[in-house]
């Protein structure tokens, strides 16, 4: 059909345009670090990448745009942490760096248009696969027309397009296997669903988030009125063994070279050690906490280890996440008993909960739920407000370096120390005389008072925007629950009543 070609070309054209704009206006550091992963694999050996420490990381040469100077300036960057992604992701980056080296004639230079587009090819493929998966899933649940529209929406969905070429990430590597796994489970193709789960886990640590979706689908799609335990066990075993087979095949070479070092770096470090903050620009419940603490100048407002009523914020977040998981599973099982739509609803709310409740959440984690919310929103108007909220918050989350300025939590003792040092230097240079009269030497309290007042002035306008985006984020998530589960809403009947 002609319109399919138009949609495909439009999506590709927008992505190329974003790639052209990215060196100036896109997020820079993930792009540098993606190249750094490939270069580090080249430097230390592809199969030895999980044993390197920070001293062995490759330095990436490139350029960054300075708005004040209105020009590009040279930049050399070494990643803050060693590579902590699974083997298939590292392999893909290694291949991309090889291609980039050929295109650039030997020496690699980051943050050019060519570098941006080449390092985004993985995103392009994964985003197209995601759109195809959304089409197939919506087609099965709501019919052909909805499926075609949903696929087009997914391909042109602004946050997904921004996440890849503009931001420099590849979260579509999780989106594609997620939506295909759900579709395959609805088709009772459990082995192939397990393959998707295994691929997801070999591409990004967040692949483990599919676990609850598989468990729910295994129980929810049982034929009998009660759970058919043998049937459920067989289904879960098929998924688990297929996923394990993929993991062993993909990671086998790395395990032969370094044992389970890939598991330690990719999963244990990612989930327990990296980024001990309440939020990493994730506009969720912890951003409300950050805005509240930042407004009153609290020390370490983003420290996720701080205890509230004797429990760390990390643990509070995990507890809330488990509570939302249990609620979503119970309500989905009750409202959509043995109806396939219930699996889609559960998966959408669970993956959205990942963004809302835990600590250490990045801004881009919001898109994990988007393919499933697109399926629901195109199939039923009840979910449209939630989808609109996702668009608004997703765009804001992937463009915050352009509009956020002085963000919440930026105030620190280092700012006071630097200003205090400047005040002392000025005092000594003028021998204590200002305006023709002697003055007392500056104190650190004087510096703190000035720096804090300047910080408050810088935060005044942008704080309103942060509050607005955060409220939209939380309201959109909250909307999903009554839209999906309200008795008499007709939500359960908005899709085909496919039963097992």
Distance from C-alpha of 384 to C-alpha of 177, rounded to nearest angstrom: 24
- Which of 121, 153, 182 is the endpoint of a domain? 121
The better pLDDT of the pair 451, 145 is held by 145
Q: What is the dihedral of CA 84, 90, 92, 94, to 10 degrees?
A: 130
pTM of the model: 0.92
Q: Is residue 205 part of a domain?
A: no
For 221-234, write each residue's pLDDT tens digit: 876 545 578 888 99
In a domain, 210, yes or no: no
Nearest to 156 by CA among 185, 137, 138, 130: 130
Answer yes or no: is 259 within a domain. no
Question: What is the number of other CB atoms lying within 10 angstroms of the CB of residue 471?
Answer: 14
Q: What would the 3-class secondary structure string for 403-466 be?
A: HCCCCCCCCCHHHHHHHHHHHHHHHHHCCCEECCEECCCCCHHHHHHHHHHHHHHHHHHHHHHH
Place 493 in a pLDDT band, splitting at 50, 70 and 90. very low
Residue 440 has pLDDT above 80, yes or no: no
Which pLDDT value is given to residue 102?
94
Report yes or no on 435 lying in a domain. Answer: yes
User: Checking DSSP bridges between strand 279-280 and strand 361-362, what pairing results, if any?
Assistant: parallel
At 45 the three-state DSSP class reads coil
Whether the CB-CB separation of 498 and 339 falls below 8 Å is answered with yes
pLDDT for the residue numbered 79: 82
Per residue in 151-171, pLDDT tens? Answer: 999 999 999 999 999 999 889
DSSP secondary structure letters along 8-42 = HHHHHHHHHHHHHHHHHHS--HHHHHHHHHHHHHH
Confidence of residue 433 (pLDDT cuts 50, 70, 90): low
Domain end point (choices 121, 152, 186): 121
Judge whether 464 lies within some domain. yes
β-pairing, 361-362 vs 307-308, is: unpaired
The parent domain of residue 375 ranges over 278-500
pLDDT at 469 > cutoff 90: yes
Mean of per-residue pLDDT scores for the chain: 90
Alpha carbon distance 300, 376 (integer Å): 40
Question: Is 452 inside a domain boundary?
Answer: yes
- pLDDT value at 284 more than 70: yes
The last residue of one of the domains, among 121, 143, 169, is 121
Q: Note the Cα 484 to chain centre separation in Å.
A: 24
Q: Report the range of poorest mean pLDDT among 115-119, 342-346, 422-426.
A: 422-426
Q: Is residue 373 in some structural domain?
A: yes
Of 36-40, 268-272, 328-332, 486-490, where does mean pLDDT reach its minimum? 486-490
Domain annotation covers residue 209? no
- DSSP assignment of 164-184: IIIT---THHHHHHHHHHHHH
> From the CB of residue 335, how many other CB atoms can be counted at a distance below 10 Å?
18
The reported pLDDT for the residue numbered 41 is 94
Task: Inform me whether the pLDDT recorded for 495 exceeds 60.
Answer: no
User: Which range among 107-121, 224-238, 295-309 has the greatest average pLDDT?
Assistant: 107-121
Number of domains in the chain: 2
């Amino acid at each position: 059909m002609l319109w399919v070609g138009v949609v495909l070309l439009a999506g590709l054209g927008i992505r190329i345009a974003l790639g052209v704009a990215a060196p100036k206006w896109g997020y820079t550091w993930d792009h540098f670090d993606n190249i750094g992963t490939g270069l580090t694999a080249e430097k230390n050996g592809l199969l030895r990448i999980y044993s390197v420490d920070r001293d062995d990381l490759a330095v990436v040469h490139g350029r960054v745009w300075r708005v004040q100077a209105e020009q590009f300036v040279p930049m050399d960057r070494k990643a803050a942490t060693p590579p902590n992604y699974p083997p298939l992701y590292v392999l893909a980056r290694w291949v991309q760096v090889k291609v980039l080296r050929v295109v650039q004639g030997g020496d690699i230079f980051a943050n050019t248009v060519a570098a941006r587009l080449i390092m985004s090819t993985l995103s392009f493929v994964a985003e197209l696969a995601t759109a195809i998966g959304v089409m197939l899933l919506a087609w099965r649940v709501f019919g052909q027309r909805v499926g075609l529209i949903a696929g087009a929406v997914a391909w042109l969905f602004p946050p997904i397009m921004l996440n890849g070429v503009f931001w420099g990430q590849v979260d579509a590597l999780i989106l594609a296997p997620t939506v295909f796994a759900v579709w395959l489970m609805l088709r009772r193709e459990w082995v192939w669903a397990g393959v998707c789960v295994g691929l997801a886990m070999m591409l990004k640590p967040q692949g483990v988030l599919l676990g609850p979706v598989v468990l729910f689908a295994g129980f929810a799609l049982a034929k009998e009125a009660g759970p058919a335990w043998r049937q459920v066990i067989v289904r879960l075993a098929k998924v688990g063994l297929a996923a394990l087979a993929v993991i062993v095949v993909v990671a086998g070479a790395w395990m032969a070279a370094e044992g389970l070092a890939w598991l330690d770096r990719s999963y244990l470090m990612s989930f327990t050690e990296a980024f001990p903050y309440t939020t990493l620009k994730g506009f969720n419940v912890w951003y409300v906490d950050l805005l509240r603490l930042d407004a009153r100048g609290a020390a370490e407002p983003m420290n996720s280890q701080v205890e509230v009523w004797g429990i760390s914020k990390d643990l509070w977040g995990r507890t809330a996440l488990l509570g939302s998981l249990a609620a979503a599973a119970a309500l989905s099982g009750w409202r959509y008993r043995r109806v396939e739509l219930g699996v889609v609803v559960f998966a959408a709310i669970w993956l959205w909960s990942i963004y809302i409740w835990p600590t250490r959440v990045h801004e881009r984690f919001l898109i994990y739920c988007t393919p499933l919310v697109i399926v629901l929103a195109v199939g039923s108007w009840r979910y449209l407000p939630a989808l609109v909220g996702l668009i608004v918050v997703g765009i804001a989350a992937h463009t915050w370096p352009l509009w956020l300025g002085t963000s919440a939590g930026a105030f620190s003792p280092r700012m006071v120390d630097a200003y205090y040092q400047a005040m002392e230097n000025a005092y000594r240079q003028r021998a204590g005389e200002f305006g023709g009269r002697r003055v007392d030497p500056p104190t650190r309290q004087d510096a703190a008072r000035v720096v804090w007042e300047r910080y408050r002035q810088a935060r005044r306008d942008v704080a309103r925007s942060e509050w607005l985006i955060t409220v939209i984020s939380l309201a959109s998530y909250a909307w999903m629950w009554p839209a999906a589960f309200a008795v008499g809403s007709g939500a359960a009947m908005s899709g085909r009543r496919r039963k097992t």
